[in-house]
């Protein structure tokens, strides 16, 4: 099977990222599930693919399936890619997945050149789609977790059960990314890679859609499985810095301590950063010390607002006093501090915005990001 997996451009929304920030972990996991097929990952921004080059790739590729991972900001650029694919290769099955198609599958399928949407976690679903076509079938009705076109009708199958044992997933196929320039603008080393050690967050924040993909239950990978991947990246890929992209790495204190212990036991030397953030209400002095001992140097937290009523309305579940307490502990351990804030949450007014700005000044993180 010839399979094309695409990370669409975000250039029209955010501007061209130079160098590209990080490889797409979702596509890397999908590719690892069908590694026995002929899989190509195409990262539009990282590979500087213009419309002419993209057309050539489609003409020459003879792809059975093309899958695009879509966030809302990349939806319209993804639509343009889909049009080209279907025009130049009508037989190619056009699959959209990711957070935007998951929450708006019928809107996505209103475009005539899109055949199928994968909802939620896509690894097992995508493998079943590939096997279905490989076996000469076009009946997708028995594959959970999809919305698809059956002639002129649009059909939806029952939801896919979340993957309970994440250790069963192969390590992501990072080797399929052509660009060797992936980095992160605030990293200590140029050679940095992301890793996902768990899925799901028990938080109920009203502004977060993570639960639509990963659910609210915390599903951790095993300690050995996680540290095996870290060791592989350091020894085989000469990686010196790893960014942990979990929704909330510190959900289980016992697991954090075990990962720290295993990293020390294996004498693994690497720097770790948490750019996606960790909830303050899951942190304490022991966990923060463990993070530092395993090699962490940078830690981000979602603060959101400096007004407690606003935090309560968006179901953040954290007190401002707790945020101050944890920020102070992080600083005492001399870790780099990041804090994320949001302007315009429900109930916001000029006064609450000023309170958020003043609270950011009071916390005085190394980096304050406002959204």
pLDDT average per 10 residues of sequence, the chain (371 residues) = 96 74 92 97 93 97 97 95 97 97 97 97 97 90 96 95 96 90 83 93 90 89 98 92 95 98 97 94 97 97 97 96 97 97 96 98 97 92
- Tell if the pTM clears 0.75, that is, is over it: yes
> Measured between alpha carbons, how far is residue 200 from residues 120, 247, 252 in Å?
12, 6, 12
Helices (H), the chain: 11-14, 25-33, 51-61, 75-88, 99-103, 105-108, 123-134, 211-214, 223-237, 253-265, 285-294, 308-313, 320-332, 350-363
**pLDDT score recorded for residue 180:** 73
**pLDDT score recorded for residue 20:** 66
Q: What is the SS3 assignment for 155?
A: strand
Asked if 203 and 251 count as a contact pair (C-beta separation under 8 A), the reply is no
**pLDDT score recorded for residue 17:** 63
**pLDDT score recorded for residue 86:** 97
**pLDDT score recorded for residue 365:** 98
Lookup result for tokens 């009946």:
139
List all residues 6 or more positions away from 370 whose beta carbon is below 8 Å from its beta carbon.
341, 342, 343, 360
The first and second tokens of residue 348, run together, are: 């916001």
């Amino acid at each position: 099977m010839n399979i094309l997996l695409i990370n669409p451009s975000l250039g029209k929304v955010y501007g061209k990222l130079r160098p590209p920030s990080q490889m797409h972990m979702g596509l890397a996991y999908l590719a690892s599930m069908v590694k026995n097929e002929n899989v190509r990952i195409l990262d539009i921004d990282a590979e500087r693919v213009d419309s002419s080059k993209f057309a050539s790739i489609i003409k020459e590729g003879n792809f059975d399936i093309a899958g695009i991972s879509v966030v809302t900001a990349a939806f319209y650029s993804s639509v343009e890619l889909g049009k080209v694919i279907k025009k130049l290769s009508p037989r190619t099955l056009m699959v959209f997945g990711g957070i935007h198609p998951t929450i708006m599958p019928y809107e996505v399928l209103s475009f005539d050149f899109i055949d199928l949407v994968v909802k939620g976690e896509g690894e097992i679903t995508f493998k079943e789609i590939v096997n279905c076509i490989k076996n000469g079938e076009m009946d997708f009705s028995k594959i959970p977790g999809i919305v698809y076109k059956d002639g002129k009708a649009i059909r939806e199958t029952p939801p896919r059960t979340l993957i309970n044992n994440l250790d069963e997933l192969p390590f992501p196929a990072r080797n399929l990314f052509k660009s060797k320039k992936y980095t992160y603008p605030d990293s200590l080393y140029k050679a940095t890679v992301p890793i996902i050690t768990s899925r799901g967050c028990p938080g109920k924040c009203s502004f977060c859609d993570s639960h639509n993909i990963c659910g609210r239950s915390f599903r951790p990978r095993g300690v050995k499985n996680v540290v095996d991947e870290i060791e592989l990246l350091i020894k085989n890929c000469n990686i010196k810095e790893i960014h942990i992209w979990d929704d909330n790495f510190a959900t289980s204190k016992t697991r954090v301590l075990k990962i720290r212990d295993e990293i020390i036991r294996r004498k693994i030397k690497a720097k770790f950063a948490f750019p996606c953030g960790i909830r303050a209400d899951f942190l304490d002095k022991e966990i923060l010390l463990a993070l530092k001992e395993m090699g962490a140097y940078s830690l981000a937290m979602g603060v959101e607002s400096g007004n407690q009523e606003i935090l309560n309305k968006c179901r953040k579940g954290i007190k401002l006093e707790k945020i101050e307490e944890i920020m102070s502990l992080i600083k005492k351990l001399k870790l780099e501090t990041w804090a994320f804030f949001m302007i315009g949450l429900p109930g916001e007014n000029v006064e609450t915005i000023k309170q958020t700005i003043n609270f950011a000044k009071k916390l005085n993180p190394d980096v304050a990001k406002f959204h």
